[in-house]
Chains A and B, each alone.
Chain A
């Protein structure tokens, strides 16, 4: 593993021990190797991008880190101390919050109810103890404003928010409830360019506030500008961890296993362009065109 580069002064100093660390973890489902001997660490004030193609084992690794799965081999460590998570609640209690691509908010519940789901503030006592809707609305409104979403009515259903706003709500919620490590599972993959930019900005500001962020993606364009370190997963195994500036986009692609295909496609397209320029007949559906969806 490469040493992390020095953090700029504006950020809190990286602690001596990583906030969250996976040490040579493996997970098997029957004969299938989901992940094997993978290590990963995230320090305070850092974004570690976990990169891998579909099926590389990113989801399994995330589920291990967030307490959904238990590793078959290897250990997890929080602040350098080995830990065992038997349920997502254990990870939450250790300050590790996971924001899933589409599984983190309830579209049919209001903003303030979503914000406090599982952590509802209550008031009154005995049998009259009840959900403090006023406080929930006030806190949710303030927290949403902090992350740049001005909510006039916190009774508004989350289903009326855009995809990026839903993700930022989930991030704000995790931070409000004391997360020190944010695991963002493909937070941008279902979003448009502008929406993705909003989410990336929130990942950066969470880092600037001293959180450790694990950012899972298969989109190199989203990872490169914000990552401090990059961990590559290919077919369930680690492709190494690299510091910012060590690699460019092409090298990252190659390490993820997509590089070879991309080069092949480029070569195909170049050849077709040549033939067209020479006036030769070009097949109606050129090689690799399905990948673009064939749309105008």
Chain B
């Protein structure tokens, strides 16, 4: 009899109330997807606070790891949203290289003003994201494979194009042009704060990171589109049956990821006064790592933008903390690998224990 076998202990009675335990505030905080990342970040801060001595804990130390975290954090929001929708984008790194080079070529070769070059670069890069999305949606292939292919394609074509036009894969931009530009300041502004040995640089990238994370969290948690993102990742078929425009959601998120890559590229180009085809290498892996530390499931349907931002913070603290602690920088990847594993196990445990998922 098929029906009797499942009637055992774990089926619930009709009323839910008697099945619900009373939950404390702490338990409800832990049930949030970002709670694991918070624990990890606090842990990393304490470890490097002890190892890195005074420098790590100073204003200067804090501002420098915030800047490193911001570089990853700027793309991590869109990456987390895309992963919650059940897709991957491995091509971000090559898009960062592409976007920077487009600005460089348009300014140095075509003589466009900086602001116009930034605008064109952002539009072209976002369009490449749309192309990523359309290929994934139309072919039904795993986005891992599609964007792995576009990662090579975009990086390779950027190199070919740059070598053809400028004969060199590194483009310098005249700092005078950048400082005279009306909008470049949004991407390279910084402020020296503190005094003496405490002096640190508050960079605009940190504001971009916070702004994008805040907008992303609002989008995911407070809008229709955000609900669609979770639904599409949970089950594309069921979402479609409920009338959610699955293809449009996915393509928009690929575009958003590419757009955030172009913001990062613009910040780097305006800060370093140069573009390089190799910029942005491995940032896709960093971004995926931060999203996973932040509680986002690789399989989609569940995750957190705030978690990804906290994950980026942990990553930044580890990278700078190792320098301040005078540890050989080779240990960085060991640290990140360990963090990632611990975070995944912790997040899994929290999900089962506090969010009540089996």
Query: What is the interface of chain A, defined by CB distance below 8 A to chain B?
Result: 66, 68, 88-89, 92, 98, 100, 103-109, 113, 116-120, 122, 129-131, 133, 144, 148-153, 156-157, 159-165, 190-196, 198, 219, 221, 292
CB contacts (< 8 Å) of B16 on chain A: these are 144, 149-152, 161, 165
Q: List 15 A-B contacts (CB under 8 A).
A: A88-B241, A106-B230, A106-B239, A107-B357, A109-B301, A116-B227, A119-B242, A122-B224, A148-B15, A149-B15, A149-B16, A151-B16, A152-B17, A164-B12, A195-B7
Decide yes or no whether B231 CB sits under 8 A from chain A: yes
B:4-35 near A, CB below 8 Å: 4, 6-8, 11-17, 20, 23
- The answer, among B231, B297, B358, for a CB contact under 8 Å with A106, is B231
Excluding A88-B243, A163-B11, A192-B8, 8 further A-B contacts by CB distance (< 8 Å) are A103-B241, A104-B241, A109-B234, A117-B227, A120-B224, A150-B15, A152-B17, A195-B11
- The answer, among A104, A113, A148, A163, for a CB contact under 8 Å with B14, is A148
- The answer, among A108, A122, A292, for a CB contact under 8 Å with B234, is A108
> What's the least CB distance linking A176 to chain B, in Å?
13
Which B residue's beta carbon lies closest to that of A112?
B227
Docked Cα-Cα span, A104 to B238, in Å, equals 5
Contact A108 B243 (CB under 8 A): no
Closest 4 CB pairs of A and B: A106-B234, A192-B7, A118-B242, A162-B12
CB contacts (< 8 Å) of B7 on chain A: these are 192-195
- The answer, among A118, A150, A165, A192, for a CB contact under 8 Å with B239, is A118
Contact B240 A88 (CB under 8 A): yes
Docked Cα-Cα span, A159 to B351, in Å, equals 11
CB contacts (< 8 Å) of A117 on chain B: these are 227-228, 231, 239, 242, 244
Docked Cα-Cα span, A164 to B15, in Å, equals 11
Contact A193 B3 (CB under 8 A): yes
B:183-236 near A, CB below 8 Å: 218, 221-224, 226-228, 230-231, 234-235
Decide yes or no whether B356 CB sits under 8 A from chain A: yes
Docked Cα-Cα span, A196 to B355, in Å, equals 26
Docked Cα-Cα span, A292 to B12, in Å, equals 25
CB contacts (< 8 Å) of A163 on chain B: these are 11
CB contacts (< 8 Å) of B166 on chain A: these are none
CB contacts (< 8 Å) of A221 on chain B: these are 3
Docked Cα-Cα span, A103 to B228, in Å, equals 16
CB contacts (< 8 Å) of A98 on chain B: these are 241
Decide yes or no whether B237 CB sits under 8 A from chain A: yes
Decide yes or no whether B302 CB sits under 8 A from chain A: yes
Contact B222 A130 (CB under 8 A): yes
Docked Cα-Cα span, A107 to B357, in Å, equals 9
Which A residue's beta carbon lies closest to that of B218?
A130
- The answer, among A118, A133, A193, for a CB contact under 8 Å with B243, is A118
> What's the least CB distance linking A69 to chain B, in Å?
13
CB contacts (< 8 Å) of A148 on chain B: these are 14-15
CB contacts (< 8 Å) of A152 on chain B: these are 16-17, 20
Evaluate whether A196 and B3 lie within 8 angstroms (CB atoms) in the complex, with A109-B231, A131-B226, A131-B227 already known.
Answer: yes
Evaluate whether A108 and B297 lie within 8 angstroms (CB atoms) in the complex, with A88-B243, A100-B241, A195-B11 already known.
Answer: yes
Contact B13 A194 (CB under 8 A): yes
Contact B356 A159 (CB under 8 A): yes
Which B residue's beta carbon lies closest to that of A160?
B356
CB contacts (< 8 Å) of B358 on chain A: these are 159
CB contacts (< 8 Å) of B4 on chain A: these are 192-193
Contact A89 B243 (CB under 8 A): yes
Docked Cα-Cα span, A140 to B358, in Å, equals 23
> What's the least CB distance linking B167 to chain A, in Å?
45
Contact B243 A194 (CB under 8 A): no
CB contacts (< 8 Å) of A219 on chain B: these are 3
Which B residue's beta carbon lies closest to that of A148?
B14
- The answer, among A92, A100, A165, for a CB contact under 8 Å with B238, is A100
Docked Cα-Cα span, A164 to B3, in Å, equals 13
Evaluate whether A131 and B224 lie within 8 angstroms (CB atoms) in the complex, with A100-B238, A117-B239, A161-B16 already known.
Answer: yes
Docked Cα-Cα span, A152 to B15, in Å, equals 11
Which B residue's beta carbon lies closest to that of A221?
B3
Docked Cα-Cα span, A12 to B295, in Å, equals 50
Which B residue's beta carbon lies closest to that of A188?
B3
CB contacts (< 8 Å) of A118 on chain B: these are 228, 231, 239, 242-244
Contact A107 B8 (CB under 8 A): no
Contact B240 A109 (CB under 8 A): no
Interface flags, B336-358, vs A, CB<8A=1, else 0: 00000000000000000001111
